[in-house]
């Protein structure tokens, strides 16, 4: 089932839709690239460090930065009208739904009620 077709986001003119998606996409792209760069920097420092510092850097990269990156990518995909299964074919852990929802609400550029947007997101997660 293609959930993207069922998302009832508001109808905008093509120009309005492109402008909104451009702005939204630009902010999320910057956030995704920043998180990727942060991960690279931490990994580089991790290789040079030893002992407890190395372990703390590794834990931050794996448990904080990686989860933030995943949530950001899911929010980006939802706002670009991709299905959840197009973004994550298989996954072993459930995503942080609340963090994805927070980002969607923050970056969505449109005249859409927040509750309807939350409902569309919830439906998007259910249809994997």
Token couple for 84: 């959840």
Please report the pLDDT score of residue 2 as a whole number: 42
The pLDDT value recorded for residue 11 is 52
The long-range contacts involving 23-31, CB below 8 angstroms and separated by at least 24 positions, are 23/109, 24/79, 24/107, 24/108, 24/109, 25/76, 25/79, 25/80, 27/107, 28/72, 28/75, 28/76, 28/79, 28/103, 28/107, 29/76, 31/72
- How many angstroms separate the Cα of 83 from the Cα of each of 23, 38, 88, 121, 128? 21, 27, 9, 11, 8
Query: What's the predicted TM-score (pTM) here?
Result: 0.78
pLDDT, tens digit, for every residue of 59-87?
Answer: 999 999 999 999 999 999 988 888 998 99
Q: What percent of the chain has pLDDT over 70?
A: 79
């Amino acid at each position: 089932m293609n959930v993207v077709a069922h998302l009832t986001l508001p109808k905008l003119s093509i120009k309005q839709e492109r402008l909104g998606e451009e702005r939204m996409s630009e902010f999320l792209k910057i956030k995704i690239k920043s998180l990727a760069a942060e991960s690279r920097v931490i990994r580089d420092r991790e290789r040079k460090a030893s002992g407890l510092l190395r372990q703390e850097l590794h834990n931050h990269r794996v448990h904080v930065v990686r989860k933030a990156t995943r949530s950001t990518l899911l929010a980006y995909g939802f706002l670009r009208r991709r299905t959840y299964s197009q973004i994550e074919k298989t996954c072993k852990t459930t995503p942080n739904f609340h963090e994805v929802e927070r980002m969607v609400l923050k970056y969505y550029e449109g005249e859409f009620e927040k509750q309807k947007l939350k409902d569309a997101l919830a439906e998007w997660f259910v249809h994997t």
